[in-house]
Chain A
Amino acid sequence: MSAKLRVDPIACTGHGLCHELFPEWIELDDWGYPMIDDRPIPADLLGHARRAADACPKLALLVEAERARG
């Protein structure tokens, strides 16, 4: 199983903690909102992704198992 990061763009208020915790996969735009790398997250970085998601004060960052789309 591979996983990806997804932001709920309405919930996100641009705290930027996710970028501090997982800069390999999350950059910030000019206004401090996260830009997520769309590629599947390698297994050895999954812990960082989960920590970033857990730290989001708005619960706006999600680690999602990638499913085949029908």
Chain B
Amino acid sequence: MTLPRLLAGLPEDGSPISLADHEAIHGPPGESGTGLIEATARAGLHGRGGASFPTAVKLHSVSQERGPRAVLVNAAEGEPMSFKDRVLLARAPHLVLDGALAAAAAVGADRIVVAVREDASAARAAVTGAVAERGLRRRVKVRAVPVAYLAGQEGALIRHLDGGPLKPPAVPPLPYQRGLRGHPTLVQNPETMAHLALIDRHGAGWFRELGTERHPGSALVTVTGAVRGPGVQEIACGTALEEVIRTAGGTTEPLQAVLVGGFHGTWLPADHGSITLDDENLRRHGASLAAGVIVALGESACPVQELAQTMAWLADQSAHQCGPCANGMPALAGLMAALAAGRAPREYRQRLKRWCAQVPGRGACHLPDGAVRFLSTGLAVFAEEVADHVAHGPCDACAGPVTLAVAVPRARRRAA
């Protein structure tokens, strides 16, 4: 079977696929049971929520715990420019449910919770409808969660769903040890669940027919920025970046850089079009496909504004619990704002270097780690533009619209 896999057979009118059509395309659910763990290990599936953790390891860990267990489908999709999970849920809810049910069977869980960001009404309606259609309302609960960067952080999400604050807890324990209601919990995002549904049906060998040896399978990506047809695509892992941009209708203007992996991702210079989107290759450039956000930055944008405004937003999204993040993120954001305005302090280079070393890797969650990766790779790619702002103040493009808009207008969303 070739592409698309997850997005196969979707109705033209944008509605969710019916249960009958879903089973006609994919066949009935598999009966892997606990064998799904081994099949997933052989398939080499990694989580598609951002951290790229081996899915089989999570499945195995939860299956080894005692007492009641739970499965949590994390569709908080807090990454501001990612749309793929809500699109998948809105269009192929049965595939995600099949995956959650197969995962529950594999780890011995009774309870399934699907947590969907509250503004994704089509996704919530589709999954709620699919749950009802299959008579699963007792077993599967659909919950709306706030729109926030940290809503997708699994510990914060679990605390929130259990009635606590939407803030990351201290680790350990991890969710596989103590999650929903204190029970061991498997947390996966909708795309990962959908891949599990297909591994359950067709096995590891089939999964590996697409993708590369080290990064097998297909992946959903959200392509935005200076492209003619922004939207969600399903690609084979290892597809060239330039091909993905071509599929998105090509660029609206020459590019100066591409952001791979979203707000915790990595900036690549525009001449990296031939780079292939698989983690083995991306890692050589310090990048990872992560949750599949690809932003093309056109030459008319001011990259220093993009860095400064995104850092300000990320600083605001901090839970303000851990010292290095609560202090370091506003410090970095403030320095970037001063720099963009041409008011950089004389020792700005030393400060940036010191803070980018001091802030990451010391918190309860990875927000500051990702933010510093975003900033430091941006500072490397846009070194000339940064120096220009320091010397001459704001550029002509500074007052223009930012590409890394946190609220993406509805008209720019388009499902594949």
Contacts and interface: CB of A to CB of B under 8 A. Distances in A.
Contacts of B322: 9-10, 12
A32 to B, nearest CB: 8
A29 B363 contact: no
A8 interface: yes
Nearest to A9: B322
Contacts of B358: 29-30, 35
Contacts, number: 42
Contacts of B324: 9, 29, 31, 33
B368 to A, nearest CB: 10
Contact of B363 (A9, A13, A32): A9
Interface in B308-358: 321-324, 327-328, 331, 354-355, 358
Contacts of B327: 30-31, 33
B362 interface: yes
Interface residues of B, number: 15
Interface string B160-193: 0000000001100000000000000000000000
A11 interface: yes
A14 interface: yes
A67 to B, nearest CB: 12
Interface in A1-30: 7-14, 29-30
B364 interface: yes
A31 B169 CA distance: 22
A19 B340 CA distance: 36
B354 A31 contact: no
Contacts of A13: 323
A8 B323 contact: no
Given A10-B322, A31-B323, 12 more contacts: A9-B362, A9-B364, A10-B321, A11-B170, A13-B323, A29-B323, A30-B327, A30-B354, A31-B324, A33-B324, A33-B327, A35-B362
Interface of B: 169-170, 321-324, 327-328, 331, 354-355, 358, 362-364
19 contacts: A8-B170, A9-B170, A9-B321, A10-B170, A10-B322, A11-B170, A12-B323, A29-B323, A29-B328, A29-B358, A30-B328, A30-B331, A30-B355, A31-B323, A31-B327, A32-B323, A33-B324, A33-B362, A35-B362
